[in-house]
Structure 1
């Protein structure tokens, strides 16, 4: 004997029932089959909705009833030939007429009792099993319809009836001893009490029915056919990388089911577990998929600690506390007794060891009843202030990590909490059973998607980390950066197990979001055509609302307004990567505040490109300081544009022409005065000083200018270039003075003995700066460990590609942290 169960989706359409026929053709060749079926997809919801409308006095209850009628009649006509249709239609119309009479009664008395709910809901399974059985008989199958109201006996706890196991098993065995049918169809979900009243078995009742048949008949395996290919590591609607669990234990399956996994329900497991009957979860629509097998033990060698993740939404937390509770055991007893009397189901419990508080998780639907029950029970203590007013937090969810091997491994809970903390998910409550088969946490409902994805990545895809990038600024640097991502994605995925997803792009005009990732082949077109008007506040709000794990905000601009929002971004537990120097060169208080905010909210604030574009200047300096070294002196050429200009100016071509060349080759800002003023270099040396744990402000740095003031005050860029030409003698004189003494002109930033300055210096032969060519930068650190020969960092310090590579390096530091 074999037992198979097909859910509502599997029997929702004639096409789906044809798939069932193909499955049964394979099964009946070996032995007789019991097929438990659910109501047609969506019918149970319509039946209940119709009842509620009738009980509420809404005459429109007839509309869902008409839909129920139409669905069943259409199924008969689609599944059964004309010759035999009449008989089945007659059966269904009798059922529907009886159902209509019941609804009419509900409407007249305005009452929908649990007993009546069971009566109306039973019509779904009775009608579907009747139609399907007759359809298979019409096709020539030797099949029979079992009456589960006669076979399955329960108590009278309507909507959640308890099984009378011995009597039920006895009836089932007797029925099949006398049956010669190859296929027996049975309606799931329903039974009857001792008075013959219809009862239902509660949520997942059809699965439970199948398990009852399997246990009573002691079959070798129970098969649950559904619309998914097995139990999954997480809900695939939330976690796209979720995959099917090939094998799982009974206890793990029950834990996952209890915490929201709807493939199978906990009551289903109990009957088969008693007889060690494996449960196979299969996909009706992909019958060749292997599915999930549920057994008592997982085979040796199956070493995954965690089997799956699950979650329950619509949770409220009751916080019951007060100093009068300490050392008084009756409070706990009375608290849970009051909830039980109010029929409030407790999903999660945690209690402080001080006995000062009890925290329980319940359905939000029960929150009002729970409050009334507790306040009624403890009204004397509340009035005397021995306990505090009941605190209820709503809009919460429970996320559970399940695995029977967790008890044998140290650090699972630590990894869970660390993963959630790093992604800014605040934990409201924690519960872990002594069996250590699950760890449950209560979090805000809007954090569930990020929490599940982060935990799934950490425990199931630990070899791959997804980073979600929110990028503002797609000019030269931004374009180069996106090009590098496109080129390196497959390499990073294959060799470094990092998946870079561009979740948002913005320029000064448009912003465009795509949580699944923006195509880097058409991003310019998509930004232009699909993007909405750029608004920084809305950009940040949308980024926060998307709530993606491992999010990084990338600012490729020099915009002060954007720099001023970094602290808000860090408070979202979103890391910040930027070449924008403004944030790091504002007041020392703001700089320190940014650092502290990042630490507090587990977010990174990285700005390597602030100083040396792609050169590892800040990271090297940071490593020196972390290891206990002390900075004595810093000397640096930090402007690639100025170095390019002085390396190419020899007095033969006008200084203004060299500046124009630097502009055309992209080495300067559109307004070259920003570079030539030395303000950029001043900001860079300030950042290095602050990274050396020395507090200094911009005004503490002396700047020695070399551009005549009349040039700097020119009204336009063209006027500035013209003014430079007028002052050519000034620049030629500077060059000739250095050349005569065998030196070269370099724009140098320095810090020594608490003093900092920037300006032109004549560099003698043999100095590390003398041979610095092109647009290269160079930084030298004299420290306690490098007192005589400095630590030197040298390389390209300007250009879109180099800066983009520095941004890329910061992102990889976050990926590897």
Structure 2
């Protein structure tokens, strides 16, 4: 069974009620429904105004009662066919007469007690629910009308009654046994005390009624229908670009509702949260809109900040004095003084020095608070141990709310940095240990400005600033820095992206400048920087906690690769040209991928395979779109392809390898390329990205390089190749005799990977490769016979740097 609640705007006119009927008709075709309704929009205020006028002896209340009566009678006439109107018109008239009688009594007494007030305002929901119930009946939809006063039990604290949960649940259990229709209509907001006297659940209490009903019957869901399409990231009246929050946790919704978000009444959350009942916020006037889903732990899939809200009409009370330091009981006495005057405390802060206590209260109670506190501390004030209470008015609270803020350091700094940069002075700050809410007290005049700039900062930054920390400034690193310098203005003007290099490191030195490093002078600046280590560099990145930070590794260092996890833990994106991390034991590779997901950041390594070619990105696109990789064949070493394209026996094999190294196509130690180790890493990375759990020792390597070449230094390696020239010449001659070309091929099929030199016949996809080309053939469910082919330059500093650059942009824009 579902529970639907429709607020005052949703039932504010006959036209709106017709929309409600259509929504409910669709719902009851699927499961039984309880519908909780508010008073017609504006009626509760009108009823309250009648009582206040009567209590002041103003006979105008009679005119107001007549307007209320007329509005309800007109609604009946528009919603119900004329032949069925009579009984409902009589019922409405009778209830409105009771309103008038009640107001007459208030007029004669000249006062309106809390009990009388509850009785008076209850008529809004009593009348609306019965009118709406009859509107459904007029449409031929069978309904049952339940009187909330007979179901929901409270104590007798009129105006602030609290729920008797046990009795309420028992009442619902009993009445559910007698339910004979698929649709129940009941008034919201109203209840009764143990003596059957009408009480109310507070302004906005219809939401609470619906939540109580949902919890009592174990509803499948609760839907709150209003005039907006869900909870918003900020008040749309103030922030034009405010967005609907798709999902939100119970705790976050509760925080936002307490801090000024009027979409849902704060007590509503507790009953449904205890029963894990999902809550939807939907728009009566745009029912197809998705709305907002409130449920348990939804924050795990969301952003750190869920919304920005505010409370106006705040006064700040500051109690200060040296006599407070180290003396127990001052806080208790302060709060007792406020409690004695029924003053609610909205915000509390106290410095660790114990020299001051600051609390926020509603402005309307500030003067009463000052009198009570000054009286309570009169002895200390006379002795000048404590100063008289200082009251500051015309203040408001702005609050960031988000369950996930507690696992994302830097949110507070970003918030207050944004306020400070825009000249908004913060008078007080409060943050609970749950870190779910960060509140700042500011001048009311600055609230609109503050909410807009915070929304821009957290939801719609105009120029997004990205801070790059680059480790490795050799051949590829230097090319990357040149490309960044060239494109900075383009990215700023065309993509509103302010890309700044703020950190550089090589094997000996690190340079960090939070204002950005001059890319025309980076060599001189780095040379003058102090000696340091990658650990110091990493700690510096974390300590500075700059927004939108990206760590770029353009080394072949195992030490550098070991710091990725530490950075990902702090939501710092990692772009790796270095293949060591992704070709390390699968457990570490998976850990890094999981950290990137858990901390909502990016771990990108496109250049691990194919330099600037979009190989890994294409593979992931295939998988994300539902395809499956069945087989891969690839030439993945630009070095080996260069070597075998240039070796024809006319000059020694060793000379061709040295040429490849001189032109920047090899690793510093060419044996990593020629031994097949580098290709093994690449095919393993592709297999892992395709979903295979693969380790290096399970990849078969059919090496063409004699074992003796792997001994000694790099120069020893070149000498040994010269000595074994006949071996290399014989491999070439055998292939040439068959009209084949030599290619070092990596393959993956049925969970198994292998690499090795193969003789490729003319016309094969792997044959027609030149220079440093790489090629990958993806055989998938969608490409079973004719493979998807990615081909192009797979080595070289420029193309590798461009691939790293592309990953930086992906990390930035996601």
Q: TM-score, normalised by structure 1?
A: 0.57
**Could you say if the C-alpha distance between residues 226 and 148 of structure 1 is closer, same or farther in structure 2, counting changes exceeding 3 Å?**
same
Q: Which residues of structure 2 form unaligned runs of 5+?
A: 466-489, 499-514, 529-814
Structure 1 residue 214, shift from structure 2 partner = 0.5
Q: Report Cα offsets for 1:520-553 as digits up to 9, x if no partner.
A: xxxxxxxxxxxxxxxxxxxxxxxxxxxxxxxxxx
Q: 1:216 to 1:62 in 2, by over 3 A?
A: same
Query: What SS does structure 1 have at the residue aligned with 2:60?
Result: helix
Relative to 1, partners in 2 of residues 1:171 and 1:450: Cα closer, same or farther, differing over 3 Å? Answer: same
**d(CA) in 2 for partners of 1:56 and 1:426?**
43
Task: Identify the residue that residue 150 of structure 1 maps to in structure 2.
Answer: 150
Compute the displacement of 1:63 (Å).
2.8
Report the alpha carbon displacement of residue 464 of structure 1 after superposing the two structures with TM.
4.7
Q: Cα distance 1:70–1:276, how it changes in 2: closer, same or farther (>3 A)?
A: same
The whole-number CA distance in structure 1 between the counterparts of 2:333 and 2:222 is 42
Structure 2 partner of 1:63? 63
CA contact (8 A) 1:457 1:465 kept: no
SS of alignment partner, residue 59 of structure 1: coil
Please tell me whether residue 334 in structure 1 is matched to residue 325 in structure 2: no
TM-superposed CA distance for 1:463, in Å, is: 5.6
Provide the alpha-carbon RMSD of the alignment: 2.7
2:316 alignment partner in structure 1: 317
> Number of residue pairs matched?
487
Q: Secondary structure at the match of 2:98?
A: helix
The residue number in structure 2 matching 1:169 is 169
Cα deviation digits, residues 126-165 of structure 1 (max 9, x gap)? 0100100011112211101101000000001112210100
Q: 1:452 Cα deviation (Å)?
A: 0.5
Distance change (3 Å), C-alpha of 1:344 and 1:83 = same
Residue in structure 2 matched with residue 198 of structure 1 by the alignment: 198
Give distance in 1, aligned partners of 2:41 and 2:222: 22
Q: Pick which of 147-156 and 174-183 moved more.
A: 174-183
Q: What is the alpha-carbon distance in structure 2 between the residues aligned to residue 332 and residue 299 of structure 1?
A: 35
Displacement of 1:462: 3.0
Cα deviation for residue 55 of structure 1 reads 1.3
Change (3 A) 1:493 1:344: farther
Provide Cα deviations, 1:394-427, integer angstroms capped at 9, x if missing partner.
1110000011111111111111110000000000
Distance 2:170 2:112 in 1: 33
- CA positional deviation for 1:289: 0.5
Stretches (4+) displaced over 4 A: 463-466, 490-494
Taking a change above 3 Å as real, the CA distance of residues 186 and 497 of structure 1, as seen in their structure-2 partners, is farther
- 1:279 Cα deviation (Å)? 0.4
Instruction: After superposing the two structures, state which structure 1 stretch, 175-184 or 125-134, moved more.
Output: 175-184
Corresponding residue number in structure 2 for 1:580: none
Q: 1:495 to 1:138 in 2, by over 3 A?
A: same
After TM superposition, the structure 1 = structure 2 runs for residues 172-183 of structure 1, keeping only pairs within 5 Å, are 172-183=172-183
Taking the aligned partners of 2:381 and 2:175, their CA distance within structure 1 comes to 59
Counterparts of 2:82 and 2:42, CA distance in 1: 26
1: CA distance between counterparts of 2:441 and 2:493? 33
Q: Shift of residue 303 of structure 1? A: 4.3
Residue 415 of structure 2 is matched in structure 1 by 416
Counterpart of 1:29 in structure 2 is 29
In 1, Cα distance between equivalents of 2:372 and 2:464: 47
Distance verdict in 2 for CA 1:306–1:104, change over 3 Å: same
- SS at 2:403 equivalent: coil
Mapped to 1, the partners of 2:493 and 2:21 lie a distance apart of 43
In 1: Cα distance, 2:103 partner to 2:457 partner? 52
8 Å Cα contact 2:249/2:299 also seen in 1: no
**2:285 match: secondary structure:** coil
Deviation of residue 493 (structure 1)?
7.6
Quote how far apart the aligned CAs of 1:376 are.
Answer: 2.4
Q: Provide the secondary structure at the position in 2 that maps to 1:427.
A: coil
Deviations 1:444-488 (A, max 9, x none): 01101110011111111136579xxxxxxxxxxxxxxxxxxxxxx
Paired position in structure 2 for 1:368: 367
Counterpart secondary structure, 1:22: helix
Contact 1:4 1:223 in 2 (8 A): yes
Quickly say closer, same or farther: Cα 1:375–1:149, change in 2 above 3 A. Answer: same
- Provide the C-alpha distance between the structure 2 equivalents of 1:492 and 1:10, rounded to a whole number of angstroms: 45
Q: CA deviation at 1:30?
A: 1.4
Report the Cα distance in structure 1 between the residues aligned to 2:109 and 2:10, rounded to whole angstroms.
37
Q: Does 1:73 align with 2:73?
A: yes
Deviation at 1:497, TM superposition (A): 5.9
Determine the structure 2 residue equivalent to 1:89: 89
- Whether the 8 Å CA contact 1:464–1:493 is kept in 2: the answer is no
Secondary structure of the equivalent of 2:24?
A: helix
1:249 maps to which residue? 249
Distance 1:273 1:492 in 2: 45
CA distance in 2, matches of 1:7, 1:327: 51
Report the secondary structure of 2:4's partner residue. strand
CA shift for structure 1 position 32: 1.3
- CA separation in 2, counterparts of 1:110 and 1:126? 25
**1:288 and 2:288 correspond:** yes
Is residue 134 of structure 1 aligned with residue 118 of structure 2? Answer: no
Does residue 10 of the first structure (1) align with residue 14 of the second (2)?
A: no
Task: Spell out the pairing of 1:94-113 with structure 2 (5 A cutoff).
Answer: 94-113=94-113
Q: Secondary structure at the match of 1:286?
A: coil
The aligned counterpart of 1:503 is: none
Q: Deviations over 1:749-807 (max 9, x none)?
A: xxxxxxxxxxxxxxxxxxxxxxxxxxxxxxxxxxxxxxxxxxxxxxxxxxxxxxxxxxx
| Aligned 8 A contact 2:429 2:439 in 1 | yes
Aligned to 1:709: none
Deviation track 1:228-269 (CA, whole Å, cap 9, x = no partner) reads 000010111111111000000000000111100011122101
Partner residue of 2:440? Answer: 441
Alignment match, 1:461: 460
How far is 1:380 from its partner? 2.4
Q: 1: distance between equivalents of 2:247 and 2:494? A: 28
1:371-520 residue pairs with structure 2 within 5 A? 371-462=370-461, 464=463, 495-496=495-496
Whether contact under 8 Å (2:426, 2:442) holds in the other structure is yes
CA distances 1:647-681 after superposition (whole Å, capped 9, x unpaired): xxxxxxxxxxxxxxxxxxxxxxxxxxxxxxxxxxx
CA distance in 2, matches of 1:203, 1:454: 31
Matched, 1:271 2:267: no
Inter-CA distance 24–494: structure 2 relative to 1 (3 Å threshold): farther
Q: Paired residue for 2:636?
A: none
Q: CA 1:189 to 1:493, structure 2 compared with 1: closer, same or farther past 3 Å?
A: farther
Residues 116 and 183 of structure 1: CA distance in aligned 2, closer, same or farther (over 3 Å): same
1:580-622: CA deviation from partner (whole Å, max 9, x where unpaired): xxxxxxxxxxxxxxxxxxxxxxxx9xxxxxxxxxxxxxxx99x
**Ranges in structure 1 where 5+ consecutive residues have no aligned partner:** 467-489, 499-603, 605-619, 629-817
2:97 aligned counterpart, secondary structure: helix
- Stretch deviating more after TM superposition (62-71 or 31-40): 62-71
